[in-house]
Amino acid sequence: MKKISLIALLGLVAFDAHAVNLRQYASVKLLAPVSNKTEIKESLTVYDHGTGTTYFEEFKEDEDMETVNALSLAYGVQLADARVELEYNHYFGASEIGDTGLKLQNYALFANAYYDFKTNSPFTPYVGAGIGYNQQELSAEGESETLRSAAWKLMVGTGWKVNNMLTLDLGYRYVNFGSTEYSEYFFDGIYDYNIELEFANVAHELMLGARISF
C-alpha cells in the first residue's frame, strides 16, 4: 500500500479559495427603521380570596414603537452569484412601546443568504433572506427582563462596486423579531393577579453601508 504523507492528504482535502473564486468580505451597515410595530396580547387573571371568584380578561392591540437606529456587522463569503454571511445587529437604545410605559431593546444574530443579479455595470441588485436569534430587554419602571425568540428577515437592495475591494450597499429589509412572552404574579392580601404578555415585534428598515472584500 502506498503511503500518503500528511502534507499530501491535507493538500487533497484543503479548500482552495482561489481555485473556486471564493472571496471573503466584511460589512458594516447603518440600519434606519422606517416603522417599528409591536402586537401585544395581554391576559389578566384575578382571583378573589374573599369570594372565591376568578376574573379573566384578554385583549390584543397594535402599538407603534419609537424608531431606534442600529449597527450591523457581518462576515461573509461569496461564490459566483451567491453570498452567505453571519451578521450581528446592535440597536442604539430601547424603543418605547406606544404609551404603555414599556421599552424593548433588540440584539440579534442572523445567518443570511443572498443572490446577486450580475449586470454589465458597477451596480449589482440582490435579494436575500435570513434566520436567527433575537434577544430583547424589556424594561419598565426601573426593572428589566430578558426575552428570547427566533427571528427572520427578507432583504432587497443593490451594491455599487467602487473597486475590487470596496462595494457600497443600499437596501431595505423586513424583520420579524418573533414572539416573546412575559408573565408576572403578585398578591395584595385579597387578590391574586396573574398577568401574561406576548410581544410580536416587526420592523421595516433602510440599510446603508459598505462591504470590503479580501
CB burial string 74-110: b at 16+ within 10 A, e below: bebebeeeebebebebebeebbbbeeeebbbbbbbeb
C-alpha cell at 62: 397594535
Give the mean model confidence (pLDDT) for residues 161-175.
97
Q: How far is CA 132 from the centre of its chain?
A: 6
CA distance 77 to 74: 10
Domains in the chain: boundaries: 22-213
How high is the pLDDT of residue 124?
Answer: 97
Give the mean model confidence (pLDDT) for residues 146-171.
96
What share of the chain in percent tops pLDDT 70?
A: 91
How high is the pLDDT of residue 131?
Answer: 98
Closest to 124 in 3D by CA, of 79, 156, 172: 156
Higher pLDDT, 208 or 199: 208
Higher pLDDT, 89 or 104: 89
How high is the pLDDT of residue 18?
Answer: 53
What CATH number does the domain located at 22-213 have? Answer: 2.40.160.20
How high is the pLDDT of residue 19?
Answer: 55
How high is the pLDDT of residue 89?
Answer: 97
Taking only the tens place, the pLDDT of each residue in 12-50 is 434 455 556 789 999 999 999 998 888 888 788 888 888
Phi-psi region of 134 (alpha: psi -120 to 50; beta: other; left: phi over 0): beta
pLDDT band at 6 (very low <50, low <70, confident <90, very high): very low
Taking only the tens place, the pLDDT of each residue in 125-139 is 999 999 999 998 888
Q: Assess contact for 130 and 139: CB atoms under 8 A.
A: no
The reply to whether the predicted model has a pTM over 0.85 is: no
Q: Assess contact for 214 and 25: CB atoms under 8 A.
A: yes
Q: Assess contact for 71 and 28: CB atoms under 8 A.
A: yes
Q: In the predicted model, is pLDDT for residue 1 greater than 80?
A: no
What share of the chain in percent tops pLDDT 90?
A: 51
Lowest mean pLDDT among 28-32, 141-145, 153-157: 141-145
CA distance 205 to 193: 38
CA distance 135 to 107: 5
CA distance 78 to 105: 32
Higher pLDDT, 4 or 61: 61
